[in-house]
Amino acid sequence: MNLLTAFTYVLPHRLLSSLARKLAYSRNIAIKQWLIDTVTRKFGVDLSEAAEPDPQAYPSFNAFFTRALKPGVRVLDPDPRALLMPADGRISQCGAIKNGRIFQAKGQSFTAAELLGDDDAAAPFADGLFATVYLSPKDYHRVHMPWTGTLRETVHVPGRLFSVGPDAVRLVPRLFARNERLVCHFDTDFGPMAVVMVGALLVSGVETVWSGVEIPRYGDAVTVKDYRGSGITLERFAEMARFNYGSTVIVLLPHGVATLAPGLAAESSVRLGERLALRN
């Protein structure tokens, strides 16, 4: 384990993320513009795709980071059987869930039950499919629906806030099942679908389109919100949630409902709306 990754074990994760949140929401012109300019320069952010391309027009760094895209710069796969990539980013891993376990990196895995925080909720995904998408600081930070679904419940699972960068994914055991996360369960025409928003170090929040801010407050106990009967249905390709800073979204699908897109593999660069999988 490298020194930086080892050091993250002893960092005050939540304190650092709370401080980062204050900076992200600051409307101090000097602070917000320094943050915007630094991230734009360091990570090569393409503001030509943004609905607001002027970096000085954003009232806060958070507004910049969760910026909307111009209409039409992301298009959905034209095949109506295609399940869609939920975000811009890079595939961390994808493939089959084997005996209930999800591959993280060489020598590292975790169970679907650990990720979802519930054995029963994980059962439909045994031997199903997963895709883990890492959003870097340069990426569009809104997450969209892979398939049309009706929200059944959300589960806020407390945890740590390790970095989700490549080194941490390679070195920290069960990383995605240890970090604070929001599990979103949807009912679809093929059965259940889970979309998991995984928090990370310096990620100041997770927000959903149906409930607003979900993280923080950082939790100390699992919190379940039941949305059965609320009629919250989101169409394929519709926005569902957003992150501050870089993080990770994981999609879980039941066995037999779809086949992953050919050529999709670890390290693949992906864009919102591209084909994730094709219905069988």
What are the Cα distances from residue 83, in Å, to 64, 107, 248, 270, 272?
28, 29, 18, 14, 11
Please state which of the ranges 104-113, 143-152, 228-237 shows the lowest mean pLDDT: 104-113
Look at residue 272 in the predicted model and tell me its pLDDT: 98
Integer Cα distance of 106 and 169 in angstroms: 10
Mean pLDDT of the region 245-263: 93
Asked whether residue 137 carries a pLDDT value surpassing 60, the answer given is: yes
**CA dist., res. 21 & res. 218, Å (int):** 12
- Give 242's contacts (C-beta < 8 A, 6+ positions apart): 66, 141, 142, 143, 206, 207
Instruction: Summarize the confidence of residues 251-259 as an average pLDDT.
Output: 97
61 falls in which pLDDT band (50, 70, 90)?
very high
How confident is the model at residue 156, as a pLDDT? 95
Per-residue pLDDT at 88 exceeds 60: yes
Whether the ω angle into residue 216 lies within 30 degrees of 0, i.e. cis, is yes
pLDDT band at 269 (very low <50, low <70, confident <90, very high): very high
226 contacts: CB under 8 Å, gap ≥ 6: 152, 153
Residue type (1 letter), 21: R
Q: Decide if 105 contacts 172 (C-beta within 8 A).
A: no
pLDDT band at 215 (very low <50, low <70, confident <90, very high): confident
- Take residue 88 and report the two structure tokens written for it: 């811009």
Select from 244, 238, 264 the least CA-distant residue to 186: 238
Spell out the domain ranges in the chain: 12-65, 82-279
Peptide bond into 41 cis (omega under 30): no
CA distances from 61 to 204, 206, 230 (A): 11, 15, 33
pLDDT of residue 4: 55
What gap in Å lies between CA 31 and CA 226, rounded to an integer? 39
* Active site (catalytic) residues: 88, 144, 247
Instruction: Kindly state the average pLDDT of the residues 226-254.
Output: 94
Q: What is the mean pLDDT of residues 10-17?
A: 74
Sequential DSSP letters for 137-157: TTS--EEE-SS-EEEEEEEEE
pTM score: 0.93
Locate 249 and state its tokens: 């979204």
